[in-house]
């Protein structure tokens, strides 16, 4: 389980997270929605310990990751896989070296075992015969899928997705959504995705939480969110320019 | 009055920025030295980086050292010929190269060529979240990116300096023997007679310090790169300028130290 308690984070004078509370149950896919720049990615980075809060706590299976450093932090991070918005593949490494990175760093496996696992992961994301290519030779959609293969290679318990469908065409986006759903069903992982793409959110989520003004203002199943009476949530999910959320806010 | 206030505010901001930079650099240097002696040691990556830094720099170091040696010989010939002391040109070229120009010019070449490339590479990784990706996979970015480059720079710059010294002396030899008509035997004798072990040793100590300076500055600037191509460009420029300044400043301090204490 992931439990965020009273998380606060400022960048200079800009308040991003303001006493944020959130609970993510094991085995569920939770999607965090919100406007661009509202702090969704900042929240995700706190969950995996890339950022330290100004105050508050983030518990991962009972361990407060905000207080950890060094080996202890790395031990918790081994439970995670993360798909970054731009995939964040290592430019100097080939596709198979990217996917196998975690195994090559932390597990003393034979090369044939590593290659078998790489082929399996690439197969799960619908890629083949790309092992020797460099990231620069891949399309945007292929890079996302290789990033996803890398995220699952070490059999994580928790997968984080940062804007998984941003920057790719709608057809590829739906393919990524389907992959996320299939991986969740096959691997039985806890998933946390941040997005402002409502089609993606409805497709992959067990629970949707809305981040607004540094806090979670609503949380529920996709049906509950679709039928919400909260004017802020309604304005966002329907994509309306007029409402309590102003363009400057 | 407002102008004075704004001026003082700007000065204060610069001072805070400088203290923050120096503090960050100090912490970064501490972490680098920690990881130098903690596994994993990434031997393959050290060799890969040493090839990029050392082997690929050979052509430009050769050219610069050769021309430096030739120019030194020619420029000193003006005065030496007036006092019939041409044979001392060989000693002047050798001592200048080994004590000073070999280490400094080689370091400046490597800082401009390789330091900039290191900053650009790490900076691009920073802005495309590749460094975050390393951390999420429980891999320390300093251990993975900085320490192989540190060892590679240390080894490569030391070897390149020795090579530059030899090529520089060769440049002086070409001018001295073929243009200034100094005999081969006299030129070689006057090259190696005045050279002491301490001259060579002190020159290589400088190379070690310069290698550390180039690595720390170029990697630190890369890790601090701000968003986008402009951010990476600024970081690269800043890395080269700061490396150059630090090399010259360290050279001045080391030369003074060696003169007054290390003789």
Each residue's pLDDT expressed in tens, for chain A with a length of 249 residues: 899 999 999 998 889 999 999 999 999 999 999 988 888 999 999 999 999 999 999 999 999 999 998 889 999 999 999 999 999 999 999 999 999 999 999 877 788 889 999 999 999 888 988 999 999 999 988 999 999 999 999 999 999 999 998 888 888 888 888 988 988 888 889 999 999 888 899 999 999 999 999 999 999 999 999 998 888 888 888 887 777 777 665
* Predicted model pTM: 0.90
- The answer for A157, left when phi > 0, alpha when psi is -120 to 50, beta otherwise, is alpha
pLDDT band at B262 (very low <50, low <70, confident <90, very high): low
B136 in A contact zone (CB under 8 Å) = yes
Which of A235, A210, A188 lies closest to A22 in space, CA to CA?
A210
Nearest C-alpha of chain A: how many angstroms from B119?
15
Three-state helix/strand/coil letters over chain B: CHHHHHHHHHHHHHHHHHHHHHHHHHHHHHHHHHHHCCCCCCHHHHHHHHHHHCHHHHHHHHHHHHHHHHHHHHHHHHHHHHCCCCCHHHHHHHHHHHHHHHHHHHHHHHHHHHHHHHHHHHHHHHHCCHHHHHHHCCCCHHHHHHHHHHHHHHHHHHHHHHHHHHHHHHHHHHHHHHCCCCCHHHHHHHHHCCCCHHHHHHHHHHHHHHHHHHHHHHHHHHHCCCCHHHHHHHHHHHHHHHHHHHHHHHHHHHHHHHHHCCC
Q: Report the residue from A75, A80, A106 with minimal CB separation from B136.
A: A80
Q: Which residue of A has its CA nearest to B42?
A: A105
Query: Does the beta-carbon distance from A82 to B138 stay under 8 Å?
Result: no
Nearest C-alpha of chain B: how many angstroms from A155?
12
Query: Does the beta-carbon distance from B137 to A90 stay under 8 Å?
Result: no
pLDDT band at B251 (very low <50, low <70, confident <90, very high): very high
Mean pLDDT of B172-176: 95
Beta bridge partners of B175: none
- Please say if the pLDDT value at position B223 is more than 70: yes
d(CA A118, CA A107): 14
């Amino acid at each position: 389980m992931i439990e965020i308690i009273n998380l606060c984070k400022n960048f200079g004078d800009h308040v991003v997270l303001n006493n944020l509370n959130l609970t993510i149950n094991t085995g569920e896919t939770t999607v965090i929605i919100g406007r661009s720049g509202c702090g969704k990615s900042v929240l995700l980075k706190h969950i995996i310990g890339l950022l330290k809060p100004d105050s508050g706590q983030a518990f991962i299976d009972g361990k407060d990751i905000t207080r950890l450093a060094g080996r202890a932090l790395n031990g918790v991070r081994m439970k995670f896989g993360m798909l970054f918005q731009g995939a964040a593949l290592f430019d100097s490494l080939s596709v198979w070296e990217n996917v196998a990175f975690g195994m090559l760093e932390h597990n003393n496996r034979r090369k044939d075992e590593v290659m078998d696992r790489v082929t399996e992961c690439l197969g799960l994301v619908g890629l083949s015969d790309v092992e020797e290519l460099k990231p620069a030779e891949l399309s945007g959609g292929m890079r996302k899928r290789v990033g996803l293969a890398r995220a699952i290679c070490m059999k994580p318990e928790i997968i984080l997705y940062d804007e998984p469908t941003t920057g790719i065409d709608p057809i590829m986006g739906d393919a990524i959504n389907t992959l996320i759903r299939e991986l969740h069903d096959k691997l039985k992982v806890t998933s946390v995705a941040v997005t402002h793409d409502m089609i993606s959110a409805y497709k992959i989520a067990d629970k949707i939480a809305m981040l607004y003004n540094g806090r979670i203002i609503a949380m529920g199943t996709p049906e509950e969110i679709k039928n919400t009476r909260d004017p802020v949530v309604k304005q966002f999910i329907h994509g309306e320019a007029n409402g309590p959320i102003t363009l400057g806010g | 009055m407002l102008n004075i206030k704004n001026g003082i505010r700007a000065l204060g901001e610069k001072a805070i920025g400088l203290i923050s930079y120096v503090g960050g650099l100090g912490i970064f240097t501490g972490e680098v030295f920690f990881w130098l002696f903690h596994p994993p040691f990434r031997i393959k990556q050290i060799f890969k980086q040493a090839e990029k830094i050392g082997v690929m720099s050979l052509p430009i170091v050769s050219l610069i050292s050769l021309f430096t040696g030739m120019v030194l010989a020619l420029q000193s010939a003006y005065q030496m010929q007036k006092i019939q002391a041409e044979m001392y040109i060989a000693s002047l070229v050798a001592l200048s190269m080994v004590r000073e120009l070999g280490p400094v010019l080689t370091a400046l070449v490597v800082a401009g060529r390789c330091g900039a490339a290191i900053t650009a590479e790490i900076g691009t990784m920073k802005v495309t979240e590749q460094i975050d990706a390393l951390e999420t996979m429980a891999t320390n970015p300093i251990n993975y990116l900085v320490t192989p480059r540190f060892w590679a720079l240390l080894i490569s710059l030391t070897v390149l300096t020795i090579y530059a010294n030899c090529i520089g002396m060769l440049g002086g030899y070409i001018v001295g023997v073929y243009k200034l008509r100094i005999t081969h035997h006299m030129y070689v004798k006057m090259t190696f007679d005045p050279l002491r072990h301490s001259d060579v040793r002190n020159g290589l100590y400088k190379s070690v310090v310069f290698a550390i300076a180039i690595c720390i500055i170029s990697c630190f600037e890369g890790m601090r790169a701000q968003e986008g191509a402009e951010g990476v460009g600024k970081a690269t420029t800043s890395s080269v300028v700061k490396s150059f300044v630090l090399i010259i400043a360290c050279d001045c301090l080391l030369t003074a130290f060696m003169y007054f204490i290390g003789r």
